[in-house]
Amino acid sequence: MKWIEVESQNILKFKYSGHSNELAIVFRKRPKLVYVYALVPRWVFDQLRLAGGSPGYGEYFHANIKPNYQFEIVAIAALRRGGWA
């Protein structure tokens, strides 16, 4: 899946891998790093995609993703080598 760029104060872009159930998010404050959240169900990703406006991408992320899923921080360059970028 391609990166979904969004208008948000917190989130720059995100993408999802249904094969591995991983959600990758790039935040505006750290544009060279990707936070990869593990074991995220497809419906959580779908709700994030629909969150622009109200409640908003950042608010949905802080309420539903950040407290519930483990993450790993990866440099964007490493993702390119691994086929994610």
Mean pLDDT within 59-66: 96
Q: Is the pLDDT of residue 21 over 90?
A: yes
Contact 23, 44 (CB under 8 A): yes
Q: Is the pLDDT of residue 78 over 80?
A: no
User: What pTM did the predictor assign?
Assistant: 0.89
Contact 10, 58 (CB under 8 A): yes
